[in-house]
Each structure stands twice: as C-alpha cells, then as structure tokens.
Structure 1
C-alpha cells in the first residue's frame, strides 16, 4: 500500500450582508471642560441617531463608549513654552443591515467637525457564514479526493481510500471571512452638506482547507 497526503481547498463568495462602522467624536481645546463639552454634545447626537436607526431596523446592533479626556504638550515654536492641549474622545460602533442608511448617516456625520468616520468592515450574517463554511469544507474534501486520485492513477495505483482527515493550523485564529469592498479599511472623508455617501458592499469570500491522507 502507498500513502498519499494531499491538501484540499475551496472558496465560496456571497454578497456582504452587514456593515460595521465606528464613529469617533474627538475635539481638542485649551481646557478639559471645553474639549469634553464639544465631544459630549456630538457623541450624544451620534448615539441618539444610532438608536433611531436601530429602532427603524437599519441597524442590527450598536454600542457607545464613555467620553474621556487626555492631554499632551504641543510644541509651539523655538524658545516658546509648550502649549498644554486637552483632547476629549468617544466612539459609537454600529452594525448596519441597510447600506443606504449607512451612507446617509455618514453624510450626516460629515457636516459635524467633531466626527471622524472610520473604515467600513463588511461581513455576512452568522447563518450565511455557517452555510457557506459547511459547503466549502465539503468542496475541500472533494478537491482532496480529486488530487489523490490524480496522483494514484499517475502512479499506476488503484483508487485511493481516505485514512485520515485533518484541519491545518488548528491553533491559529480563523477569520470569519475575507471582505472585498471598495471602502473597507479606508478612512471615509467628510461629506459636504450632509450628502449621502455611496457605498458598495462587495463580496465576502469564505475559505476552507483540509489535509487528507489516503492509501492506494
């Protein structure tokens, strides 16, 4: 008997179903009270809007952080005393079901100088992810069978039979899926006059890999 060891792989794609974005409310001032006042007002407005969108069904989940203040000394000029600057910051993170609603919200936030909108992370619903992952694993096994059969026939052996199956890198963290979208990981610029931002969801790729041992 001859042992054949192969790796099977498969990948499936589906349109992204979720979009997660973090809105940072940040402001610098010469006093902690002034910085905190500006951020508290902007942060409260962003959180309230997220709550309204969640009630309307556009947001699946969201959470808001507490506002906090830090400080640093800023160089002003040669021979001049450094300026003490206070920075207040807070964030709202929301996962959207409605991409158009997300684009409109980003447009609204763009007219407020205290807001910074981070990159959008695209994902699938858990049920969709599980279904695609299950199918990808089955296809990976089929790929391994085909590879093993090619090697066995090329070597003049009989049909190979599976003796062991192993997932590679069992201890390594596995991502939910790989997103493919135009604005992912990019800082979104402020929109003028509250105009909606056009977003394209793109696709998520779900991969599976398996190591299979055969005998022929």
Structure 2
C-alpha cells in the first residue's frame, strides 16, 4: 500500500468513526426525546369500602377513541403503565359491568386512586331467625340484563361474633338491580337495588340440619 492509499484509508476510517458516533448520539437523543414525552401512570382501583379490586378490567382510550391499554389490576388493585403525555378516557369494569368512567390528563408521573361503584352484599341465611343454615345454593341475577352474575353452592360460614344466628356469605357486586335466590329444601328470593353496601336476611330456608335442631328445640320446650 503506497502512502496515498494509506492516507485515503486513514481518512475513510476517520469519516466512518465520526459517522458512527453521530448516529449513536442521534439514537440516544431520539430515545431521550421519546422518553421525555412519556410518563408513568399508576392506578389503584378500590370499591366503595376502600378495599382493593383485584382483576378489575381497566381500559384506557385516547380522545379519538383508540384503545391504548386494556388490562387487569393485580392482586392489590394496582396497574402500572407508561403512556405518552396527553389526555385519556379511563373506563373500569367489574364482573364485565362498567363501574367507573372519567378523564385523566397525563402531563407528569401520575398516581390515581379510583373509587369504583362496587358494593359489599352480605347474605344471611337461617330458619325462623334463630337457626343458621350452613349449606345452600345462592344465585344472583342482574334484573336489567337478566344475566346470572354469581352462583355458589356449598358451605356458608357462621361469623365469629356474639349473638350470630345466621350463616353469612359476603360478596362484592357492581351497583345495580338484582334478584337474589337462596335454595336448600325450599327456595326464597329477594329483589334488591344495590346502591350501598347492605345485608339481607333469608329467614325461611330449611335444611335437614336446621329442621333437626328445630325439632330438638320444640321437644325440649314441651
């Protein structure tokens, strides 16, 4: 290689090195710019008793209606996402029912606690208000959509409190109108408008165990 070719080789190497450094800096600047236009959004979903809603469905759309996020909360009710800085529409569903809708403006790292319209419903089951019924079938139907939203068959626990004469089952439901049906040897139903946390009592549900206890009480009294 003569001196002229060697100089050309050195010059091309320097140009290539400068080009590589320049492109690398451009990539870093571009990445930095993109990151500067995105922020972390943290959302905590809770019910009306401030208890975390795990597995609540969270849908985030931009103002054009395009969905930019669709996921579920973790076991403690949180979601963590990174989105571009802009305004969004937030929608939260529980048991496939909308329980919150609102707008959020993401201009800086944002932590939002969202209280959703989800209430606690306690179902107390007994015979004649004095004998707990510990096994039953519970069915809850949304009277608006006519869809079954909850079904349970099995043991109903008696709470560890004084003067408890019922077995109780507590669950969470979105606000709405429901038909609650309890079945054992017989069947009883109630219509409710769930707009707050409440307790309803089914005092005329008979089971073999509760009937046996009732007979024993009658014999003892006689």
TM-score range relative to shorter protein: under 0.3
Work out which structure has the larger RCO, using CA pairs closer than 8 Å and 6 or more positions apart in sequence.
1
Q: State TM-score, norm by structure 1.
A: 0.26
Which protein has the bigger helix share?
1
* Bigger Rg over Cα: 2
User: Which structure has greater strand proportion?
Assistant: 2
